[in-house]
Amino acid sequence: MRLVFILIASALMGLSVKADDFKGTEFLLIYLGGQSNMDGFGYNRDLSEDLLAPMKDVYIFDGNRIFSDRPAELGGLGMWAPLQPGHGVGFGTDGKRNFLSNRFGAELVFAKKFAELTGKKLALVKYSAGGTALHEGAGYGNWWPFSKKPNQYNYAMKTFQTALQATDIDGDGHIDRLVPTGILWMQGESDANVTVGIAKQYRSNLTRLMTLFRAAFHKTDLPVVIGKITDSKMGENGAPLQPHIKYVHRGQKAFVKNDRCAAYMTETEGFEFSDDKWHYKTEGYLKMGQYFAEHLHKLMQTCK
């Protein structure tokens, strides 16, 4: 753990360069994490023309997504590249090449909207894994940081470490300044469909994880936006797919209520689901990006 923090601190070294000596580019650094609805199931074919081309002044490091039972060295590999469609479910990378998929997530509209709101250049770090839970033993792999086995927390830390070792992310030959700005978190479905006990632990598990993420970026009051999970209720005879979702909602609300630098993005309540019953339609990911951007921008003004 300590090694990762040291590497991240050194990778942010542009922050310590004197203003008169700084020749690189300053980027706002945002982490996007969670499970499959952060991965993104929007179809690239449904995007408008202005979102199809690689974005200017927005870079993304998308960590190779992996489940807990695979070799740890594969998780967190990646490379900095201009943001474009293809970082949704099915994305992959070997650290030297990105293999874009035909899907996208919240990152596209988030970046477009957030850049408009701030007038800044952006550096996005994304690591999310579908079906994963916060609680140990739940979901298809979990984010439990104290597990003896490699887990999603380990892979996220490896993603941070690998991403921030590259101090010149735009390749102009100068060290860039990366300013930790926020965390966007969209997750909880897998904690809501196992047992009541697991769902009731969501607040404590979320608090622990966000504390560790903030520590990794050396900013204890780093703004966090939590996306509210929703249930399609497309089970048999209209039954919920997440029977214990109310406890996860309570945990999310409690976390935000007790953290002045956190916000709850509840606009997901109106999103429509695709036929797979778990993931939003393309329009949902477009809206999600916009709402994440608006909530994070507001936190930047109030959390100082």
CB 124 within 8 A of CB 58: yes
| CA dist., res. 292 & res. 223, Å (int) | 12
250: amino acid identity, one letter: R
SS3 state of residue 104: strand
How far apart, in Å, are the Cα atoms of 157 and each of 33, 57, 97, 279?
12, 25, 20, 26
Predicted pLDDT of residue 20: 56
Predicted pLDDT of residue 66: 85
How far apart, in Å, are the Cα atoms of 164 and each of 3, 265, 293?
13, 28, 23
> Residues with Cβ < 8 Å from 283, sequence gap 6 or more?
271, 272
CB 293 within 8 A of CB 114: yes
| CA dist., res. 288 & res. 291, Å (int) | 5
| CA dist., res. 27 & res. 225, Å (int) | 19
CB 45 within 8 A of CB 102: yes
SS3 state of residue 44: helix
Rg (CA), the chain: 18
CB 96 within 8 A of CB 77: no
CB 75 within 8 A of CB 46: no
DSSP per-residue letters across 220-246 = TT--EEEEPP-----SGGG--S-TTHH
Predicted pLDDT of residue 14: 47
State both tokens at 236.
């048999």
> Residues with Cβ < 8 Å from 48, sequence gap 6 or more?
none
Nearest to 120 by CA among 293, 295, 299, 264: 293
10 Å CB burial of residue 266 (0-12, 13-18, 19+) is: middle
Which ranges in the chain belong to alpha helices (H)? 2-11, 36-39, 107-118, 152-165, 196-200, 202-216, 245-257, 282-302
Q: What is the mean pLDDT of each run of 10 residues along the chain (304 residues)?
A: 42 49 87 98 96 96 82 86 97 95 98 98 97 90 86 93 93 93 97 96 98 96 98 91 97 97 96 96 98 97 88
Predicted pLDDT of residue 244: 97
**Domains, the chain, ranges and CATH?**
25-302 (3.40.50.1110)
